[in-house]
Amino acid sequence: MNQHITRRGFLAATTAATVARLAADPMDEALGFKLGVASYSFRNFPRAEAIKMLRELNVKFVSVKEFHLPYKDSPEELEKGRKEFEAAGIKIMSGGNISLAKNDDADIKKYFQYAKTCGMPMIVCAPTHENLKKLEAAVKEFNIKAAIHNHGPEDKHFPSPESVLEAVKDLDPRVGLCMDIGHSYRAGSDPVKIVSLAGKRLLDMHVKDLKDLSAKESQSDVGDGKIPFPELFRALRKANYKGCVNLEYEINAKAPLPGMIRSFAYMRKVITEIKS
């Protein structure tokens, strides 16, 4: 047998091995929904480092925060950034959270144009009750979904998932809810029940865990708190939810990876147990 290995052959073998090693965990889509990451978790790190950590987590779905695709960047720079995610095998599923505080068509549309340039099929956003119709108009114009993020009892506009669902019930079906389960519990809601209540209006999710369901500062690695992930994941499966369940890791900002690895290990274990 010819033992000579060409440079091209070596590179091909190396690339194949890298792709295999970095392939997303099969459990990440085993129940129909998609485990991903909200890149806010890497807010202290530049895009290249964030992508590197996403690869270490073996995830392929991301909701990108402005830190990693800045609003101020040119269309060419944004396209370059998008391609860096894609080259790493990571699919941009949404962008945000994007604050939409102004009741102004042009201001809202500039963020939808940003999302279009970045290849985002959805924005996660924080509008007001006053500009919801303008938000709906932009959704129709750009054909980009808008998932309204509830921010807990401190949020004067949309504290709970119920407050979002009530506000969007008569709007275009592409306007819906990004349910943050930590903020939802703190607002007195039950995310497990919200899954069936929301139906197709549930467009996206941010997940975290809390040791005290009423205390924001009690956030922990997923699995160390009181949020019932087995019940939540079963509810998502029963509802045939096909969207993302994005880990938004807001603690240990300077060194988030160890806790995120533990969080994904727990969530994948839960999925494995439900699947079997």
Q: Kindly give, in sequence order, each residue whose CB lies less than 8 Å from that of residue 189, ignoring residues fewer than 6 positions away.
A: 160, 161, 162
pTM value? 0.90
DSSP track, 138-202: HHHHHT-EEEEEP--TT-SS--SHHHHHHHHTTS-TTEEEEEEHHHHHHTT--HHHHHHHHGGGE
Domain contains 5: no
Greatest CA separation found in the chain?
74
- Is the distance from CB of 237 to CB of 193 less than 8 angstroms? no
Domain contains 252: yes
Domain contains 198: yes
- CATH code of residue 98: 3.20.20.150
Domain contains 14: no
Looking at residue 116, what is its pLDDT? 98
Looking at residue 23, what is its pLDDT? 67
Domain that holds residue 218: 23-275
Number of domains in the chain: 1
Domain contains 11: no
Domain contains 236: yes
Domain contains 13: no
* pLDDT tens by residue, the chain, 276 residues: 333 333 344 334 333 434 444 567 989 999 999 999 999 999 999 999 999 999 999 999 999 999 999 999 999 999 999 999 999 999 999 999 999 999 999 999 999 999 999 999 999 999 999 999 999 999 999 999 999 999 999 999 999 999 999 999 999 999 999 999 999 999 999 999 999 999 999 999 999 999 999 999 999 999 999 999 999 999 999 999 999 999 999 999 999 999 999 999 999 999 999 998
Domain contains 67: yes
